[in-house]
Each structure stands twice: as C-alpha cells, then as structure tokens.
C-alpha cells in the first residue's frame, strides 16, 4: 500500500489484486496526524454472514518512533473478519528497511513513512510528519485545549479528545494532563497498551497531583483487562498520592462504580477517595478539569 500526504491529509492507496483481490487500485486509508497520533478511516475487505464485502471503520493509530511503526486496534462489526487484519484486529504499518537506513530529511521527516507488513505488500512515500512539524509552529491556547479535550472525554468522544490533547503536546510534550487525557482516550477505544503507555509517561513527568490522576486511570485500565492485583495496587497508589474524584464527572463516576464492584479492598479505597473529596473540598483534577 502506498502512503502519501496531500495537503494536511495522509492517504493510503492499495494496489489492484492483493489479499483482498481488488479489481483496481483503491484508496483505503484517509486521515491526518495530530502529533504522533493518526485519526482517520480505513476501508477493509471482509467476510462473514450478513457482512458487507467492504466496510469503512474509524481508526485511531499511534506512531512509535522507536519501532518506526504506526498501529492500533480496528474493531470489526460483530461476526465479520478481514484477511487484511491479523488475529486480534491490530492494524500495523512498518517502515521499510530502505527507509530505516536513509538519513532523515528534517527532525522528524520520513518518520511517518510506513508500509503494511507481510502478507500485504506495500510501498511507502510521502511524510505526514511535515504536516505535524508545521502545526508545532502554531500557538496553542493550552488551558482551552485541555478543557475542550476533557469535555470530549466526559462526552465519550475520544477522537475529539485526542485532537485537543495532541495540540497541547505539540507545544508542551511533557504536559501531564494532556498525556493522561491521551491515555483515557485510548482506554475509551479499548486500546489498553496505548493507554498504559501514555499514563506511564504522565506518571514520570507530572507532579504528585498528576501522578495520582494517572495512577487512578491506570487502575481503570488494569480493571478492564481483568488484572485485579495490579488494578488494586494502582488504585492504592492513586489514593496514597492524594487522588480524589472530580464533582459531576459521569465518566469518573462510572469507573468508580466498576472499581467498587471488584471487592472489599477496592470498595474501601473508593470510599476513602470519595471521603477525602468531601472533607477537603479541593478543585477537581483530571478528566473533566481544565487544570494543566
């Protein structure tokens, strides 16, 4: 598949034939980068009872500079499968060996060049990093972007949230609130590995309050992956760091209820966090808060 940038868009065109037996070349990937996150749509061939032969899905993919790969989860409609996706639904694009050996054009140029791994043949061209680099030059109203991103999380709109948080990160790469927001956005997309990656970064770059927030959401992710032991430890770390739930945040309230159902140790920690909030009356932090 050939990847090119057209203006501020990344476009992927699959050749005729291939595993999907396309009669002619077809545009199958469109979208744009927000920092190192790609937000767009992918069109896949698929099989299954009552499934369309092709379908288009929203995707949110993360680019890893270390692995020179762009990847993320694609959730097909129930009962549908696609030969273009490996088992588990993880869509991955990797840089060619030739690109890996080539010198960079700019600080991050050619970092977005990628190709689909075998068995899907691909040729890479173009650079979406040039678009991202240009955006870094634009001034960002950080408090406003954080507020809009957090509002999008509460509304369970992770795509819009990522767009706002990435605007912040292009200007302040270690902004802990934006990093935590990115983690929550990927958590809402059921992309737990990516969520944990951002939350870990938030814990290592933020202050105590930011660490507490990141530990809370780490507990939520671990609960969702049924890792009860680590979920409990993460929640304990959050409470010990002083975390308390923001008022009127339906997303946080939902997660607290789910955590409390995990058993007595969880319920005790949840009550401790809620009690601290009532006693101290502090301004809320985290998802739904505009505090950086």
Cβ pair 19, 35 in contact under 8 A = no
Domains of the chain are 2-135 (no CATH), 141-280 (1.25.40.10)
pLDDT of 90 higher than 50? yes
Residue predicted with more confidence, 103 or 244: 244
Say if strands 9-14 and 2-6 run parallel, antiparallel, or are unpaired: antiparallel
pLDDT in tens, 32-83: 877 678 888 899 988 888 888 889 988 888 877 666 777 887 888 878 888 8
Say if strands 2-6 and 123-124 run parallel, antiparallel, or are unpaired: parallel
Name the percent of the chain lying above pLDDT 70. Answer: 75
Residue predicted with more confidence, 47 or 100: 47
pLDDT of 115 higher than 50? no
For tokens 């209820």, the residue is 257
| Environment class of 230 (CB within 10 Å of its CB; exposed 0-12, middle 13-18, buried 19+) | middle
Tell me, what's the pLDDT at 81?
87
Q: How far apart are CA 243 and CA 240, in angstroms?
A: 7
Lowest mean pLDDT among 27-31, 102-106, 200-204: 102-106
SS3 209: helix
State the pLDDT confidence band at 288, using cuts at 50, 70 and 90: very low
Neighbour-count burial for 19-38, b at 16+ CB within 10 Å, e otherwise: ebeeeeebebbbbbbbbbbb
pTM above 0.85, yes or no: no
pLDDT in tens, 222-266: 999 999 999 999 999 999 999 999 988 999 999 999 999 999 999
């Amino acid at each position: 598949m050939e990847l090119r940038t057209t203006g501020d868009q990344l476009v992927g065109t699959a050749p005729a034939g291939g595993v999907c037996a396309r009669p002619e070349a077809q545009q199958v990937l469109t979208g744009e980068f927000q920092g190192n996150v790609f937000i767009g749509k992918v069109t896949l061939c698929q099989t299954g009872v009552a499934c369309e032969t092709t379908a288009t899905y929203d995707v949110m993919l993360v680019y890893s500079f270390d692995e020179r790969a762009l990847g993320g989860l694609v959730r097909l409609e129930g009962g549908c499968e696609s030969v273009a996706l490996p088992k588990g639904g993880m869509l991955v694009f990797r840089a060619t060996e030739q690109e890996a050996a080539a010198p960079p054009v700019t600080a991050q140029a050619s970092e977005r060049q990628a190709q689909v791994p075998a068995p899907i043949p691909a040729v890479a061209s173009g650079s979406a990093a040039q678009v991202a680099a240009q955006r870094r030059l634009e001034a960002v109203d950080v408090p406003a972007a954080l507020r809009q991103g957090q509002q999008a999380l509460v509304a369970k709109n992770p795509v819009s949230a990522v767009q706002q948080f990435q605007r912040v990160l292009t200007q302040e790469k270690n902004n802990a609130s934006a990093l935590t927001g990115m983690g929550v956005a990927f958590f809402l997309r059921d992309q737990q590995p990516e969520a944990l990656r951002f939350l870990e970064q938030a814990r290592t770059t933020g202050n105590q309050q930011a660490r507490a927030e990141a530990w809370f959401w780490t507990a939520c992710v671990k609960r969702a992956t049924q890792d009860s032991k680590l979920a409990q430890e993460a929640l304990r770390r959050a409470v010990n760091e002083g975390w308390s739930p923001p008022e009127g945040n339906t997303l946080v309230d939902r997660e607290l209820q789910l955590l409390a159902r995990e058993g007595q140790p969880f319920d005790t920690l949840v009550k401790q966090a809620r009690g601290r909030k009532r006693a101290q009356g502090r301004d809320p932090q985290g998802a739904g808060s505009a505090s950086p």
